[in-house]
Amino acid sequence: MALAVPLSRFTSSVGGGSAFYVRLHMRLLTSILMLSLFVVVSGCEQQHTIAGDYRLEQFEDGQTYYLHKRGHDDSADGGSIIGGIVLRLGWSSRYIVAERHSIYRGDPDGWMIIDVQTGAMTGPFTETDLRKHSEVSGIQIYEVSESWKRL
């Protein structure tokens, strides 16, 4: 007998039936989902500007850091403009000094100096050779995790 009853008997003929209820809750659920996605994505942004167009990126493991320049494709450089991961870092408004661990093991590790204004990069240098460069003599150097906190 229940099969003979039309479905219209169970919904309102004015538009307040289950279809209205489902649409309202789907909109609410979609809004909550979009807001949650926005919070998650914005929370995953792991980059801090150092100086000029240069920024430090924290990798998802929370312990590896890369140096990038805005507008520069550094994929050929191993994902970092200095061709390696950042171990220690110092900066001023004019210069960035970064100790790198080279991604390509045929390249030497060492200190890189970046002129923020011209984009010129020199290095790698040993610690002794770095001290000979007067342009970076007053720059405070930090472990990269400490630099991350200070940026």
Question: Cα dist. 6→10, 11, 15 in Å?
Answer: 8, 10, 17
Tens digits of per-residue pLDDT, 133-142? Answer: 999 999 999 9
Residue 87 lies in a domain: yes
Does the residue 57 lie in any domain?
yes
Q: Which distant-in-sequence residues (6+ apart) come within 8 Å of 127 by Cβ?
A: 111
**pLDDT of 86:** 96
- Model pTM score: 0.69
In sequence order, the β-bridge partners of residue 112 are 98
Q: Is residue 56 part of a domain?
A: yes
In the numeric block, which tokens belong to residue 51? 């100086």
What are 45-97's pLDDT values in tens digits?
A: 599 999 999 999 999 999 999 999 998 887 777 778 999 999 999 999 999 99
Is 3 within a domain? no
What whole-number distance in Å separates Cα of residue 29 and Cα of residue 39? 15
* Residues of the domain holding 78: 47-150
User: Is residue 71 in some structural domain?
Assistant: yes
In three-state secondary structure terms, 52 is coil
The answer to the question of residue 136 being in a domain is: yes
Q: Is residue 134 part of a domain?
A: yes
Please report whether residue 15 resides in a domain.
no
- Give the total number of structural domains in the chain: 1
Distance CA 86, CA 97 (A): 10
